[in-house]
Amino acid sequence: MNFSGKTAIVTGGSRGIGRAVCLELARGGANVVLCYAGNEEAARATAAECEALGASVLTVKCDVSDSAQVKTLVDTAVTAYGRVDILVNNAGITRDGLLMTMKEEDFDDVTATNLKGTFLCMKAVARQMMRQRYGRIVNLSSVVGVRGNAGQVNYAASKAGVIGMTKSLAKELASRGVTVNAIAPGFIETDMTAAMTDAAKTATLASIPMGRLGQAEDVARAIAFLAAEESGYITGQVLCVDGGMAM
């Protein structure tokens, strides 16, 4: 896919799905603004891989749940490249546990990063994209936001909320040339899922019609599709990338 001349902000771009998205966009010629929370080593390594593909990359340490830091992230992108064409709201965390034992702070932390972080980033780029009369926003939801999952009340709430925000903002910005879509990955092999027990992985595998766990690249290709200029007539959609899990 061709992203030359385009500038993309990817939150949580240092590792996992976000890293694969940065590489996919860099391969297509985009300028990449890579946001990460604290893992500078991973951020630098991903940036170097993008640069090796010929892309211009900026790495910005930014907690997406902090509005001032998000403003700085977007200002940095606009100052460097003059525009923001693509926003991938990928930064996300889990704090799993059954409701009866889940701490209030586990709910607050997960919704602050996954839900409020997505809100803040969309708000920070919206005016710029409206002015440009062009934009592609892709938000990371989850199969858990579509179907729910025991032990993930907080995460499910955040990811279902992302779907609601995606559809609402899609309606607000449709006439301005800005599309807003969501991706709902199934079980993808990244650091986020690495802590699962073998028994849990085996049980999950049994619920995937394709019979394999997903890879970050499976998700990144779908994100790139929705981020492409050619996808301009698709908005407010939730694309499941899950090997058939949510059917």
Binding map of ligand NAP across residues 140-159, x = CB under 6 A, - = no contact? x-x-----------------
User: Active site residue: 36, 81, 134, 155, which one?
Assistant: 155
Residue 93 lies near ligand NAP (rule: CB under 6 A)? yes
Residue 35 lies near ligand NAP (rule: CB under 6 A)? yes
134 part of the active site? no
90 CB-near residues (< 8 Å, 6+ apart): 10, 11, 12, 13, 17, 18, 21, 140, 223
Which pair of tokens denotes residue 140?
């990371």
Q: Which stretch binds ligand NAP (CB under 6 A): 96-104, 165-173, 183-191, 229-237?
A: 183-191
Residue 17 lies near ligand NAP (rule: CB under 6 A)? yes
What residue type is assigned to position 5 of the chain? G
- Contact with ligand NAP (CB under 6 A) among 59, 113, 166, 179: 113
- Radius of gyration, alpha carbons of the chain: 17
Q: Which residues are catalytic?
A: 155
Query: What residues make contact with ligand NAP under the rule CB under 6 A?
Result: 11-12, 14-18, 35-39, 42, 62-65, 90-93, 113, 117, 140, 142, 185, 187-188, 190-193
